[in-house]
Structure 1
Amino acid sequence: MTVWTWSDNTDALVKKGNSRLFLLRRLRSFGVQGLSSGPSYDSVVASAIFYGIVCWASSITDRDRRRMDRLVRRASSVLGCPLDSVEVVGNGRMMAKLSSLLNNTSHPLQDSLTALGSSFSERLLHPRCVKERWGY
């Protein structure tokens, strides 16, 4: 039985991203550059490498994050414009998902998230862990 790790996930994403950078290089060879190829990056490369980033962004190692950032930098050099790092994209999408959960009153987690809200600021507080004590 093989155990799947976040490094295995990163390997698969980097491999997929590298293969999809071929399309961006091909577009560049036809003279399409800059902002006009940005939607191509979003639809072809970014959609493949950032799929599920809300789940894995906070769990990957620094080595894996650097590998993903290297892929984004390569795409940036192909496009000729700066792109957001993995951390920036992950935080942005996580905050968007959290915001949509807080705004959806029928979501099952809405009550739990609302209870974590600070009464003084609009921030979410960290939940407190309650350790169960066994009576031996």
Structure 2
Amino acid sequence: MSPFLYSLFTHDCRPADGSDTIIKFVDDTTVIGLISDNDEAAYREEVDCLAEWCDTNNLLLNTEKTKELIVDYRRNADPHPPVYIKGTAVERVSSFKFLGVHISEDLIWTTNCSKLVKKAHQRLFFLRTLRKNHLSSDILVNFYRFTIEIILTNCITVWYGNCSASDWKALQRVVKTAQRIAGAPLPAIKDIYRKRCLKRAGKIIKDPSHPSHGLFTLLPSGRRYRSLRTKIIIINL
């Protein structure tokens, strides 16, 4: 009920400018601004409006826990002045954790993958302990799927497709280690990624009300979908 109630009570917290987006989840609110022609006025005004909205609605905005991340691919980028909330400068970071996923300013997923691998290795200790106690392979596989695989595949449809080869190998090495311990075959990370992407795409195609439904358009042959076109943007969080 908590996510639903938070969304219900904050339904009137909306972006004032079309170039900005406000993402709300439980007590975690994120402001995303698209900066064009070095004009940050709309973005900074959005931050001020959010702080004012919090004061009006008796919500405490903790500036010390607020972080700003800038994605800027320009070679000769101008320095970005800090954002202030009630006179306090917001800390600028090179990466931060958002809903369990580590996002970096270069949009490379090495930090996220290394965090997942480190956490999964800690769980392998318990898998080895279960094996030493002579538990069956079925129990070991179930333990792996619900304590280790769930970590390695968290939000996998978001980041796995843009990982480097070294990141893929690091993730798969964890699976191979768990496979040797359990003594049974385990699904590869790339197979899980492919399966979940197809499942997610299928749901979007069947749901005309989904925001991404319009991204899936068939070619004239009617047998394949068009490739999605993307472009690099500057995002402030």
Q: TM-score range by the shorter chain?
A: 0.7 to 0.9
The 5 Å alignment of 1:12-51 reads 12-51=115-154
Between stretches 24-33 and 59-68, larger displacement belongs to 24-33
Number of residue equivalences:
128
CA offset digits 1:51-100 (Å, max 9, x no partner)? 01101111110011111111110011111111122211111111111111
1:105/1:67 Cα in 2 relative to 1: closer, same or farther (>3 Å)?
same
Task: Could you tell me which runs of 5 or more consecutive residues in structure 2 were left unpaired when the two chains were aligned.
Answer: 1-92, 96-103, 232-237
Distance 2:224 2:179 in 1: 33
Q: Matches of 1:121 and 1:26 in 2, distance apart? A: 53
Q: Which moved more, 1:56-65 or 1:119-128?
A: 119-128
TM-score, reference length from structure 2: 0.50
Q: Which residue of 1 aligns with 2:94?
A: 2
Any unmatched runs of 5+ in structure 1?
131-136
Out of 117-126 and 95-104, give the one that drifted further. 117-126
CA deviation after TM superposition for structure 1 residue 36, in Å: 2.7
Query: Which is richer in helix?
Result: 1
Provide the secondary structure at the position in 1 that maps to 2:130: helix
Q: Distance in 2 between matches of 1:76 and 1:105?
A: 41
Q: CA deviation at 1:8?
A: 0.6
**Percent of matched pairs sharing the same residue:** 23
TM-score (normalised: structure 1): 0.83
Q: Structure 1 residue 16: deviation in Å?
A: 0.6
Partner letter of residue 182 of structure 2?
A: L
Deviation larger for 83-92 or 8-17: 83-92
Instruction: Return the offset for 1:129.
Output: 6.9
2:228 equivalent in structure 1: 127
The separation in 1 between residues aligned to 2:134 and 2:111, in whole angstroms, is: 35
Query: Greater share of strand residues, 1 or 2?
Result: 2
Task: Tell me the C-alpha RMSD between the 2 structures.
Answer: 2.0
Max Rg structure:
2
